[in-house]
Amino acid sequence: MGVPTKRVDLWQPYMNLPQGGKVMAEYIWIDGTGGMRCKTMTLPGKVSDVKELKEWNFDGSSTKQAPGHDSDVFLRPCAIFPDPFRGGDNILVLCACYFPDGTPATNNHRHLCEKNMNLAKQHEPWFGLEQEYTLFDSDGQPYGWPKGGFPAPQGPYYCGVGTGKVFARDFIEAHYRACLYAGIKISGINAEVMPAQWEFQVGPCEGIEMGDHLWMARFLLLRIGEEWGITPSFHPKPLTEGEWNGAGCHTNYSTNETRAEGGIKAIHEYIEKLSKRHLQHIEVYGEDNEKRLTGKHETASATTFTAGVSDRGASIRIPRSVDIEGKGYLEDRRPASNIDPYRVCSVMVETTLIL
Ligand code: ADP
Ligand code: MN
Ligand code: MN
Ligand code: MN
Ligand code: MN
């Protein structure tokens, strides 16, 4: 199955029409199930700062965020990005959800994250997230896999090149370019170990920006998927039968202490603190993550905490280059692909800098 045919000849003339000076703002938010939603507002003209945007609202009873008898949920604009779909002055607006009384709505983990980032500001926490994900076709099968069968075992697919080794490269390239256009700090992409599984990296980002940029990159992935008939999945273990890798969201983390000369000392101090709060971290490191953290397929076990230099079977890996230079960052390999990055960044800062 290929790209679904869109009648580009019919559609294109409309897309070439001028907008009469108006701007389309796509308000985007996280719903009650951890999925994403969006709707569009016409603005009178170009906007250059998120503060110029109005709050909006939506029917929370249709997104598992509010009961029907009191259904209004408010959308507070948090960050704006150029819109790669509509182009021009049109924008994407990432929002946080609030109940009418001003308390954070269901799944608004940005609220607490921002508080913690403000408390930790002087440490300048940087994050780099490695978002792994799996592509599915409209029949619910991994994209490009033989119908009713399986591809050859894992081996040639990670960073693969060549027919039969790479799946949906055109789609991945489209997403990469859209992220760059939108100003997302995407730092790279690679094909993963399981065929039809990919990774993009976002970062380094400081503080709250990490969650904002990762969520927006996910939105673009889901949205572009519509055009290919592809459903990206963030499930940490999309296939439980057979020897197929799961999907994670490795969290690379540093502060001005770890990045300074001799920062490896601070890295070891952070690891010591992290070892004492393993379960509190696992709690927010993604649903169904225990299906992935088996101790096999380049993962550590969900129940024990380990750390090591260059060890891809550990909970925390110190990259070899960081150990040699004696400063830099650590990699937490435990977070699953379906994490809320606001929660993960928040608990990381809480454990290492606040508590
Ligand atoms: P891996 O070898 O684990 O596959 P990747 O190259 O996929 O690593 O990802 C490494 C990530 O680490 C990138 O997203 C990058 O932005 C991030 N990173 C690099 N330096 C730092 C740093 N000092 N602090 C936080 N993140 C960093
Ligand atoms: Mn209506
Ligand atoms: Mn990686
Ligand atoms: Mn990876
Ligand atoms: Mn990694």
Q: In this predicted complex, what is the ipTM?
A: 0.98
pTM confidence score: 0.97
Report CA(56)–ligand 4 centroid distance (Å).
37
Report CA(81)–ligand 1 centroid distance (Å).
23
User: 19-108 architecture in CATH?
Assistant: Roll (3.10)
Atom of ligand 1 at shortest range from CA of 127: 25
The reported pLDDT for the residue numbered 1 is 45
3-state secondary structure of 21: coil
Residues of the chain with CATH 3.30.590.10: 117-354
The reported pLDDT for the residue numbered 55 is 96
- For ligand 1, atom 11, which residue shows the shortest CA distance? 128
Q: In one letter, which amino acid is 251?
A: T
Report CA(127)–ligand 3 centroid distance (Å).
13
The whole-number mean pLDDT for each consecutive block of 10 residues of the chain, a chain of 355 residues, reads 69 93 98 96 98 94 85 95 98 97 95 98 98 95 92 95 94 98 98 97 98 98 96 95 94 98 98 97 97 86 93 95 98 98 98 97
What DSSP assignment string belongs to 25-72?
EEEEEE-TTS-EEEEEEEESS---SGGGSPPEEEEGGGTTSS-GGG-E
Strand partners for 308? 317
CATH class of 117-354: alpha beta
Cα–Cα distances (Å) from 350 to 113, 252, 336, in that order, read 9, 15, 19
> Quick count: other Cβ atoms within 10 Å of Cβ 320?
11
Atom of ligand 1 at shortest range from CA of 129: 14
The reported pLDDT for the residue numbered 41 is 98
Residues of the chain with CATH 3.10.20.70: 19-108
Pocket of ligand 1 (CB under 6 A): 126-128, 130, 187, 201, 203-204, 250, 252-254, 259, 328-329, 331
Ion ligand 3, residues whose Cβ is below 5 A away: 130
**Runs of H (alpha helix) within the chain:** 8-15, 110-119, 169-182, 209-228, 256-259, 264-275, 278-283, 320-325, 341-349
State how far the Cα of 173 lies from the Cα of 194, in Å rounded to an integer.
18
Report CA(29)–ligand 2 centroid distance (Å).
18
Atom of ligand 1 at shortest range from CA of 331: 3
Phi/psi of residue 138, nearest 5 degrees: -70, -15
